[in-house]
A and B are shown apart, each in its own frame.
Chain A
């Protein structure tokens, strides 16, 4: 541990830290369950794998279209993030007020760890960085369009890129 602790939120995530309106919404909300749960075994050692990141932190590459905060049920579209994107080229466009944005805005790798994946490849822990990564905005309450359209479309891009393993990161 380091001596000085920055003023960031610490501790684990709980729903009790959320606003009352959000807590009431969640109380009545029915989570969507993966059933049956799909399962694909890893085909090669991690050190040979081409790895992609999928984040739901709502980052968009600077210059590309922001996520639409007005869509009822949430904007389930995704943005492609090329592997050579720098953290400073990512802009936070997540609509949720239910989490502290300051840390990931200061360090986008906290929620979209492209630099870290690159480092894990350089260290030999992973094989190579996939050419393209995906960014979604996680505050999707109506999951139909995600399941029907944008999750399959995003996954198909990763298949085209012959990705071996995907790390998914929420906020």
Chain B
């Protein structure tokens, strides 16, 4: 449900003129809800930015997500996979 919720909020924020990137934990939900820009991460529920107490791992996920906003090749509904280093 959390994945759908952020996907729907992201769409509303984009409608109001601000670009968004949504982290997604369930690829199937991301494909159904279609957030404008989404990064699927291979982590468990409760662990959207990888591991607790690991700032560098968390920032690596965030950088990958935020860089999607700069990627001019992407189109509405873009869904990329995050591959942890």
Contact = CB atoms under 8 A, between A and B. Distances in A.
Interface of A: 2, 6, 8-15, 17, 31-43, 45-46, 49, 51, 54, 56-57, 74, 96, 98-104, 106-107, 109-111, 113, 115-117, 119-120, 125-126, 134, 136, 138-141, 143, 146-147, 151-152, 154-156, 158-159, 163-171
Interface of B: 1-26, 28-29, 32-36, 42-55, 58-59, 62-63, 65-67, 69-70, 72, 75-77
Contacts of A98: 45
Given A12-B42, A37-B76, A119-B55, A155 B9 contact: yes
Nearest to B42: A12
A165 B21 contact: yes
B1 A140 contact: yes
Contacts, number: 244
7 contacts: A6-B51, A12-B42, A14-B26, A38-B14, A57-B48, A120-B63, A138-B2
Contact of A116 (B46, B55, B69): B55
A45 B77 CA distance: 21
Given A56-B2, A109-B58, A168-B22, A103 B46 contact: yes
A36 B13 CA distance: 14
A166 B35 CA distance: 13
B66 A119 contact: no
